[in-house]
Amino acid sequence: MQYLNLKCIDAVSSQDFQKQKPYPWVHMQDTLTPEGWNELRATLPDIAQFRRMIGVRRAYGQAPHNRGILHYIDGMTVAQPWKEFIAELNGPAYASFLRRMLGFTPRQKFILTMEWYYAWQGCSVSPHCDARRKIATHIFFFANDEDWPREWGGDILILDDEGRYKAHSAPGFNDLKVAASLDLRKNGSLLFERTEHSWHGVRPLNSPDPNIYRKLFIVTVNIPTFQVWWRRVRGKDPDGYRYRLNAPGDTGTAEAA
């Protein structure tokens, strides 16, 4: 089965992407084939596999990003559709798409990391700019009107600081202008490029039941900074997880820092 909708991603203009304000971003609808999206949505991992990150301190005084995270590690057990989709993401068509959108040369190196993010009632993502090694992020949302009505929240906000804040700071939602409020449900995705002013966030979710989850899959495009290189020397990926599982039941180990 084909998962990536190549007609969709091939139609995206890299010139328009790079000219987008306040930083490069594009909302793509029908990024996956209808059959592929449905198969992936039906076989999403169970929340029991996730690390619940609650109240974890963030740098620069930013508010915690409460959520459940399942980091993809080579060798972990996932449903067959996800194995096939991840293989496509590691394949030449997706690499070509990223190189075209981000202006990479054929020899320029990048490393993909992937995670499932689940969030529940009251969770939010405070305004932030990603770490410099995360040159771009591609977010896939797996929900429709029945799974997650829009009134429950969850739009990804593209925020504009008008050049007033450093990336290593902690403005609130009221300090920034909303350049776009993106509804990625029904097979939508968001690709954005990291800059020193690529602020984004999600306001608190207001779903009626804490056992209902807003489900994302996130692909991060990492460039080989010194931090990435040093982690690799120690057998870890750019996010600090071991590249491979050592034994059945092992979920990998994240860095303490």
* 213 assigned to some structural domain: yes
Q: Which residue pairs, CB below 8 angstroms and at least 24 apart, start in 227-233? A: 227/133, 228/111, 228/133, 231/255
* 173 assigned to some structural domain: yes
pLDDT of residue 255: 45
* 198 assigned to some structural domain: yes
pLDDT of residue 246: 53
pLDDT of residue 249: 47
CB atoms < 10 A from the CB of 188, how many?
Answer: 20
pLDDT of residue 138: 98
* 209 assigned to some structural domain: yes
pLDDT of residue 64: 80
Copy the structure tokens of residue 210. 């804490």
Angle at 251 between CA 31 and CA 234, to 5 degrees: 95
* 238 assigned to some structural domain: no
* 253 assigned to some structural domain: no
Write out the DSSP string of 154-175. Answer: -PEEEEE-TT-S-SSS---GGG
**CA distances, 235 to each of 131, 142, 230 (Å):** 20, 31, 9
Bond prior to 22 in cis (omega within 30° of 0): yes
3-class secondary-structure state, position 105: coil
Q: Rounded to 10 degrees, what is the CA torsion of 85, 90, 91, 92?
A: 140
* 250 assigned to some structural domain: no
User: Residue ranges of the chain with pLDDT lower than 50?
Assistant: 247-251, 253-257
pLDDT of residue 233: 87
* 246 assigned to some structural domain: no
The residue segments making up the domain with residue 18 are 6-233
CA distance 117 to 47: 10
pLDDT digits (tens, 9 = 90+) for 188-225: 999 999 999 999 999 999 999 999 999 999 999 998 88
Q: Which residue pairs, CB below 8 angstroms and at least 24 apart, start in 246-255? A: 251/49, 251/73, 251/76, 252/71, 252/73, 252/76, 254/71, 255/231
pLDDT of residue 245: 63
CATH number of domain containing 144: 2.60.120.620
**CA distances, 190 to each of 66, 181, 193, 204 (Å):** 21, 11, 10, 19
pLDDT of residue 135: 96
Domain count, the chain: 1
Do 199 and 128 meet the contact criterion of CB atoms below 8 Å apart? yes
